[in-house]
Structure 1
Amino acid sequence: MAFEKHITLETPVGEITFNVNGADYNKYINSTQPNNKVQPATNFLLNTVVEADAKKLKELVQQPGAALFLVGAIVEEYQPEFNFTVKKSKAEPSK
């Protein structure tokens, strides 16, 4: 079962809601490169925004940095919190 989450952000242009699922999230993460962050973020936002809020989003992402700020907030809310601990391995006996 794919993990889907509806996320609403309060923005300067009003509330904007996104429907994020695992496929969209994975596609975004896989498309992000060290020298290409804004376009994948913008694509992710435009692909996941609810239709009723698309016009507000398109207006907002024209502002410098908005796409990265928005995608950061969405990814943080979407990802489940993991608490992993690395277990210390026993030293191997010398031969």
Structure 2
Amino acid sequence: MADKTGKRVIITAGEQILHFSVTLDDFHRYQNEMSMDNKVTPSKNFLARTVEADDQAVMEQLISEGYALDLAAMVAGEFRPALELSVKK
């Protein structure tokens, strides 16, 4: 898991490589902003907060092509991979 300085997430999108630095605070803010009728804006904000400066233009191009949700889901999923949970009866 990431520490207070964050976790670096590298995503390949077609021929482009994007680098993100995600902290637990970034991740929690993304989750708190998300709602049933508002997913795109929180996704864009999350990506904008975490993308590294050199990759900003590429990320903005991908967002303008409709990939905000896909990118945000991939970055968040890599930051915090799935954990199998169950309730013991």
Instruction: State TM-score, norm by structure 2.
Output: 0.88
**Greater relative contact order, per chain length (Cα 8 Å cut-off, separation 6+):** 2
Identical counterparts, % of pairs: 29
The alpha carbon displacement at 1:3 in A equals 6.9
Number of aligned residues:
87
Return the match for 1:8 from 3, 7, 10.
10
Give the Cα–Cα distance (whole angstroms) in 1 for the partners of residues 22 and 87 of structure 2. 30
Match of 1:63 among 62, 65, 71: 65
Tell me the C-alpha RMSD between the 2 structures. 1.6
Pairing 1:9-88 to 2, within 5 Å after superposition: 9-12=11-14, 14-64=16-66, 66-88=67-89
Structure 2: which 5+ residue stretches go unaligned?
Answer: none
Distance 2:85 2:69 in 1: 27
Task: Give the TM-score normalised by the residue count of structure 1.
Answer: 0.83
Moved over 4 A (4+): none
Consecutive unaligned residues of structure 1, counting only runs of 5 or more, are: 89-95
Q: Which moved more, 1:15-24 or 1:55-64?
A: 55-64
> Deviations 1:45-87 (Å, cap 9, x if unpaired)?
01100001101111110012x0000011111111144233311
The answer to which structure has the higher helix fraction is 2
Higher mean C-alpha displacement, 74-83 vs 46-55: 74-83
- Whole-angstrom CA distance in 2 between matches of 1:13 and 1:83: 33
> Over alpha carbons, which structure has the higher Rg?
1
The residue type equivalent to 1:49 in the other structure is: V
Q: Name the CA distance, whole Å, in 2 between partners of 1:83 and 1:6.
A: 23
